[in-house]
Amino acid sequence: MKLIVFSKMLNDKTVEELADLAEALGIDGYDLAVRPGHPVNPDNVTQALPAAAQLFRDRGLGIPLITANTDLVDPTVEAADTLLAAMADAGVPRVKLGYYKIDLNSSYWDQVEATRAHLAGWGELAAKHGVQVVYHTHSNRCMGLNAGMLLHLLRGLDAARVGAYLDTGHLVGEGEEFVVATKIAAEYLTCVSLKDFHLRRGEKQNHGVKVRDVVEAGLGMVDWTEVFAELKALDFSGPASIHCEFETDDDFLTAVRREAAFFLEHRRQAFG
């Protein structure tokens, strides 16, 4: 299993600085955000992604996953083909797509069919370029917000081209155990997001409401012992992306070092 850090929160760093940080953290590379404002972005991806991948390889690091902008959902737009072509040139095997939002005023099952049609198109584009697209379990009323709903979207598609990306934090937020999610998504599971959520009661008029906070690993409600035991039982070899989307009173990089060390130790205990 490769431990990588999602570069979303590190957009101020150059590719070289990201490589330096990866070496200092002891991680295996990055889940590289290919988004506006990042060193590799939609405007320069054709040249910049292969260059970044080569620089990382020269440093003993990898980019087993990139993350596209949250609005990249249509496989027919020119940017989709450009991105996947750059991935093929760079030797980057996977990209996380954007999100299809649930419309509460429309039929859920009609939305499932529409989303499946999009994902089938992504699968065809991925096959053309020899890569894989993955869809992420994300709460806040996104289609496929847990593994049960995600398989409404993926079942019957080519798992080699369209994969499942399970998020430990969002699964807690949506009430689905990780060990249940892996059973549901087993055929499609290709990568995992490592994120901790703390759930608390908020106030809404004269009753309560669930509030979710992203926190540093170990401070929330994810059962990390169970997560890593399950990954070991599955002999999981895909990338596990450390998201670092929490707020902290410390220097952010100090918190990132803690986060990386936490997961490196859990990997050591589970995988040896």
3-state secondary structure labels for all residues of the chain: CEEEEEHHHHCCCCHHHHHHHHHHHCCCEEEEECCCCCCCCCCCHHHHHHHHHHHHHHCCCEEEEEECCCCCCCCCCHHHHHHHHHHHHHCCCEEECCCCECCCCCCHHHHHHHHHHHHHHHHHHHHHHCCEEEEECCCCCECCCCHHHHHHHHCCCCCCCEEEEEEHHHHHHCCCCHHHHHHHCCCCEEEEEECEEEEEEEEECCEEEEEEEEECCCCCCCCHHHHHHHHHHCCCCCEEEECCCCCCCCCHHHHHHHHHHHHHHHHHHHHC
Q: Is the pTM of this model over 0.85?
A: yes
pLDDT at site 26: 98
Q: Look at residue 120 in the predicted model and tell me its pLDDT.
A: 99
Per-residue pLDDT tens digits for 145-183: 999 999 999 999 999 999 999 999 999 999 999 999 999
User: How far apart, in whole angstroms, are the C-alpha atoms of residue 67 and residue 94?
Assistant: 9
Domain boundaries, the chain: 2-271
Q: What pLDDT was estimated at residue 202?
A: 96
pLDDT value at residue 139: 94
Residue located via tokens 């009430």: 175
Q: What is the pLDDT of residue 38?
A: 98
Q: State the pLDDT at residue 45.
A: 99
List pLDDT tens digits, range 189-219.
Answer: 999 999 999 999 999 999 999 999 999 999 9
Q: Could you tell me the fold of the domain covering 2-271?
A: TIM Barrel (3.20.20)
Residue 134 has a pLDDT of: 99
Q: How far apart are CA 85 and CA 104, in angstroms?
A: 35
Long-range contacts of 123-129 (CB under 8 A, 24+ apart): 123/157, 123/158, 123/161, 123/162, 124/75, 124/161, 125/75, 125/80, 125/81, 125/84, 126/84, 126/161, 126/162, 127/158, 127/161, 128/84, 129/84, 129/85, 129/87, 129/88
User: Around Cβ 185, how many Cβ atoms within 10 Å?
Assistant: 24
**pLDDT tens, per residue, the chain with 272 residues:** 999 999 999 999 999 999 999 999 999 999 999 999 999 999 999 999 999 999 999 999 999 999 999 999 999 999 999 999 999 999 999 999 999 999 999 999 999 999 999 999 999 999 999 999 999 999 999 999 999 999 999 999 999 999 999 999 999 999 999 999 999 999 999 999 999 999 999 999 999 999 999 999 999 999 999 999 999 999 999 999 999 999 998 899 999 999 999 999 999 999 98
CA quadruple 198, 193, 223, 172: dihedral positive or negative? positive
